[in-house]
Amino acid sequence: MGKPVVYIDGKEGTTGLQIYDRLADRKDIELLLIDEDKRKDAAERKKLMNEADLVFLCLPDAAAVEAVELVENPATRIIDASTAHRTAPGWVYGFPELGAEAREAIRTAKRVGNPGCYATGFISLIAPLVRRGLLPPDAPLTCHAVSGYTGGGKKAIAQYEAAEREPELVSPRHYAVTLEHKHIAEMMKISGLTRKPIFMPMICDFPQGMVVTVPLYLDMLAGSQSPDTLRAAYRDFYAGARFVAVRPDDAPACGFIGSNNLAGTNDLQIFVCGNEEQVMLAARLDNLGKGASGAAVQNMNIMLGLPEETGLIGQES
């Protein structure tokens, strides 16, 4: 059997470029490239998609839905990096660390929705607690999150990296202030929640990195819980996960959780901080790594039967 053939539809976008960077030097796959002058040629895109064993869609939501319709080859498999199909029927959610069943579903899937960056952090914290019966699905949750500006896409990147930019961009900025955000649907569904969390994201003046936090009263949880018991629960849930690590009880030793420490990696770190009454659950990751392109490559590896860490190994926390 020859090498798997892979095509990236939307390679010029932020996620597409990062996927390409992770695949360009791979010798275990064949990467199809579209001629620059045909990037928006539907017929040429359709041809390449149907020649590929696996297609990455790195497009806006509406364009991703249209792109799926171009795939007529029943053997072509798709990883969609947009929001369009993350909760859609017939699509598998691409978060393999959620357990053996999740990883097996990805391995055999024809269609995989790649997780959102904020959703990855939130789900990594909340899904284990709900699935273990520690947190009720209707718990009233608040989620705060800080992200680098690359999470805002090309427009935000251009604003932040302009030679003469607006002075207010130096300050962290809250957005989605109507408390509506496109990641909330997957945050709820994949975590098993029945009550919508209050989600408050913030974009900041650094390129890559993210911290997602959820504060809890310990009496919201079943049984007698403490920061130590929660760390143990996370370690048990993520046992064997290459890219998810639970930080020790003295972390962060400096008293600060930096947002960009994992930039350039596919790692995700979980912190449990607090006292005998309250805890702050925190997930730190790269919004363009485990929050986007790194996760997409990890899912590709699983789907193609390649070692999961290929192209991602050596990116240590």
* Distance set, CA 282 to CA 29, 46, 202, 256 (Å): 36, 42, 15, 12
Report the first-to-last Cα separation within the chain, whole angstroms: 36
> What is d(CA 205, CA 14) in angstroms, rounded to the nearest whole number?
17
CB atoms within 10 A of CB 19: 29
Catalytic hit among 58, 117, 143, 273: 117
- 254 catalytic residue (yes or no): no
The SS3 of residue 259 is: coil
> What is d(CA 289, CA 98) in angstroms, rounded to the nearest whole number?
18
Q: In what order do the strands lie in the sheet with 173-174?
A: 173-174, 198-204, 142-148, 210-217, 278-285, 268-274, 244-246
> What is d(CA 33, CA 56) in angstroms, rounded to the nearest whole number?
12
Q: Please enumerate in sequence order all residues whose Cβ is within 8 A of that of 75, keeping only pairs 6 or more positions apart, or say none.
A: 53
> What is d(CA 65, CA 12) in angstroms, rounded to the nearest whole number?
18
Residues serving a catalytic function are 117
